[in-house]
Amino acid sequence: MSSPLDKPQIISHFQKSLNYTVFDSKWIPCSAKFVCLGNYARGTGVMQIYEVQQGEAQLIKEQEFPKPIKCGTFGATSLQQRHLATGDFGGNLNIWNLEVSGTPVFSVKAHKEIINSIDGVGGLGIGDGAPEIVTGSRDGTVKVWDTRQKDSPVANMEPGEGETKRDCWTVALGHAFNDQDRCVCAGYDNGDIKLFDLRNMSLRWETNIKNGVCCVEFDRKDINMNKLVATSLEGKFHVFDMRTQHPTKGFSSVSEKAHKSTIWQVKHLPQNRDIFMTTGGAGNLNLWKYEYPSQRSKTDSDDLAVGVAGSVTLLQNATVSTQPIASLDWSPDKKGLCVCSGFDQTVRVLIVTKLSQV
């Protein structure tokens, strides 16, 4: 507040108005290109690839699909292939070779209803073990897919008989620091956060943050799980320290009221896991930094280790739109470069400066 130029600045590099609603935008790894996913007003899906060129976005490729595409990920592909996995309104999981138009390289009817969220790990050199994709759907299930297995998921996390189906709004993969360990975190509309251990095929931890969980993300997918950020409908986010799990208290957390409206997205900076950006329902972006406590765990009265949460500091904020920013993606290659898209049918490329100095 005192010396604004010392802090990271969020600079709008350029923006591009689109003629469709963008749900997701993702950088194509190892390139200056990003892909936008969304739906046309006529009810069809669309995928566009843009390249950043001389301060503006050049449309390179466009493809229309029968179903609107809700989300996409490059998390489970190799750097050479760079196949994009998408989830659409029809519950289909498709994997596309961006070089070749037409049919997907992998396609499965994954869910009965819309796939709200998708995440991948094991590709791009991020995370040990097999490339896997996780999808979360309105049908209440969370499924893990291995592209080597065509028709059925490798893991299915669904409510049992008679249990209420909750809308799964978000999924995230993490804890993939060796071949065996891997965790899926899912956030539901009722505020439930569930952590599934894929190694043991069990629910490892659950909590409720009282409000619909819009987005969860591990600070890193490919390390021993360190932190988890969950954002909620009412403008708060929680940072869980995932290193110490108390048998009853679970993971300790710190929460912060960040926005005056829903936090749609949280994304950690790929180059620094302790910096993350949240995007708000009022078109604002907040850049945060997590600071570790001096001791990350302590022992409670029962002599059990319990984690100690750190604190978060707002580094910068910026309002880019009046409409919610539904997606944001940091460039994995260029520090501080990010693309975000909102319901104002605009995609923006932003530059965040001085990230190395925080």
Partner 1 sequence: MSRTEASFPPHHLPPPHHHPLPQDCSVPVEHLDYDYIGKCKDVKYLEKICTVLRSGDEGIYPRLIMFCEDHLEKLDPRSLALRKEKPVSTAACLPNDEWSHIADELKTWQEETKASETSLKQQSMFDALVFENMPPIRGSNCSVPLCQTSVKKEKRTLSRHTLPRDYRQWDKFDVEKEFEKIDRNVDKHDAPAIIHQGHANIKTKVDASLLTQQEKLLLAHREKEKGNEAFRAKDYEEAVAYYSRSLSIQPAVAAYNNRAQAQIHLQSWHNATRDCERVLELEPGNMKALLRRGTVHNHMGNFQMAVEDLRVVLREEPQNAAATKLLLEIEKRMKEREPEQRRRGKQILIQEVEEEDDNVNTRAKETARPVEPSQPVGGEESSAAPVERGDMGNTQKKPHSRGDGGPHSEPNNSHGHRRGKGASADKYRVTQESKEKVANGSGKRGSTASAPADPSSSSRKEPPVGGHAGEPASLDAPCGALPPPLSRLKNEGNLLFKNGQFSDALEKYSQAIQGFTDSGMDSPEDLCILYSNRAACYLKDGNCQECIQDCTRALELQPFSLKPLLRRATAYDSLERYRKAYVDYKTVLQIDISVQAANDSVSRITRQLIEEDGPEWREKLPEIPLVPLSAQQHRREGPPSVELLQARAEKAARDAERTAEVRFTAVKQEGNDFVKKGQYQDALGKYTEGLQLKPEECAVYTNRALCYLKLERFTEAKQDCDAALKVDPTNKKAFYRRALANRGLKDYVACSSDLQQVLQQDPNVQEAEKELEEVTVLLRQSLANVSPAKPRTTVPITEVAGDEETPGAAQSESPRGEEPINLQLTNAYEYGQALNAARCSGNTAACAALLASTPPERLPHFLSTQLDGNTISFIMQALDSHLLEKDPHLVYQHLHHLHTTHRFSVVLMLLEKDERRHMTQLFEHMSAVQSAEFTENDVQNLANKYI
* Coil, helix or strand at residue 355: helix
Instruction: In angstroms, give the least distance from the CB of 317 to partner 1.
Output: 6
Chain residues 39-78 in contact with partner 1, contact rule CB under 8 A: 39, 41, 43, 52-55, 68, 70, 78
Applying CB under 8 A, the site for partner 1 has a residue count of 131
Q: Which is nearer to partner 1, 64 or 158 (CB)?
A: 158
Question: What secondary structure does DSSP assign to 224-236, as a single string?
Answer: S--EEEEEETTSE
Binding mask 336-355 for partner 1 (x = CB under 8 A): -x-----x------xx-x--
238: enclosing H helix or E strand: strand 236-241
For partner 1, which residue of 19, 80, 103, 357 counts as binding (CB under 8 A)?
Answer: 80
Chain residues 102-141 in contact with partner 1, contact rule CB under 8 A: 114, 116, 125-126, 128-132, 138, 140
For partner 1, which residue of 217, 274, 329, 344 counts as binding (CB under 8 A)?
Answer: 274
For partner 1, which residue of 3, 103, 202, 357 counts as binding (CB under 8 A)?
Answer: 202
Nearest to 260 by CA among 239, 242, 287, 233: 233
Contact 304, 297 (CB under 8 A): no
Q: Is the dihedral of CA 357, 261, 332, 25 positive or negative?
A: negative
Does 96 sit near partner 1 (CB under 8 A)?
no
Q: Angle CA(53)–CA(56)–CA(59) in degrees, nearest 5?
A: 75
For partner 1, which residue of 112, 210, 322, 356 counts as binding (CB under 8 A)?
Answer: 210
Does 221 sit near partner 1 (CB under 8 A)?
no
Separation CA 62–CA 89 (nearest Å): 19
Instruction: In angstroms, give the least distance from the CB of 266 to partner 1.
Output: 14
Q: Which is nearer to partner 1, 63 or 128 (CB)?
A: 128
Q: Which is nearer to partner 1, 73 or 168 (CB)?
A: 168
Chain residues 235-264 in contact with partner 1, contact rule CB under 8 A: 235-236, 242-249, 255, 257, 260-262, 264
Q: Which is nearer to partner 1, 73 or 343 (CB)?
A: 343
Separation CA 77–CA 248 (nearest Å): 37
Q: Which is nearer to partner 1, 61 or 243 (CB)?
A: 243
Q: Which stretch binds partner 1 (CB under 8 A): 57-65, 90-98, 102-110, 289-297?
A: 289-297
Residue 12 Cα to chain centre, angstroms: 21
Question: What secondary structure does DSSP assign to 180-221, as a single string?
Answer: S--EEEEEETTSEEEEEETTTTEEEEEEE-SS-EEEEEES-S
Does 86 sit near partner 1 (CB under 8 A)?
no
- Residue owning tokens 């998921």: 153
What residue type is assigned to position 149 of the chain? Q
Q: Output phi, psi for 98, to 5 deg.
A: -70, -20
The number of beta carbons lying within 10 Å of the beta carbon of residue 120 is 27
For partner 1, which residue of 48, 94, 135, 207 counts as binding (CB under 8 A)?
Answer: 207
